[in-house]
Amino acid sequence: MGKRICPFDDDDHIQKQQVIDNNVNTTRKIKSSVSEKTLQLLYKGARLQNEPQPNYINDSCISCSNSSSVKCWYCLKDICQNCSMQCDKCNEMFCGSCAFQVYDAGQNSLCYSCF
């Protein structure tokens, strides 16, 4: 199969890529400065990664800000013993957002997954 015939009459104005020798050095300088800056940022990031990071872990209850001793079984948030609820069916510890109290016969608690 041969080439398609051009449907336009202006075959004389074919666009060609032009290379200007004066700008080649400028382009190389720009590329080298960009690569130098990139390498500097990479080295800076590597140095920061090797430095010890401060510990911002907060071990306080999400409800009352007391020291926590338990994690919610469902959402893994820190809760203290006073704010935790134990599900009567699965016997896991939950926070107030992941479990609720049933007032039918005493103070029973159910998690939403057992409900």
Per-residue pLDDT reduced to its tens digit, 32-87: 777 888 888 888 888 877 666 565 566 788 888 788 788 899 998 888 888 888 99
Among 93, 90, 22, which residue's Cα sits nearest to residue 61? 93
In a domain, 44, yes or no: no
78 neighbors 60 (Cβ within 8 angstroms): yes
pTM: 0.46
In a domain, 46, yes or no: no
In a domain, 89, yes or no: yes
* Count of structural domains within the chain: 1
DSSP state of 81: T
94 neighbors 111 (Cβ within 8 angstroms): yes
In a domain, 21, yes or no: no
In a domain, 60, yes or no: no
Domain range holding 115? 83-115
In a domain, 87, yes or no: yes
In a domain, 74, yes or no: no
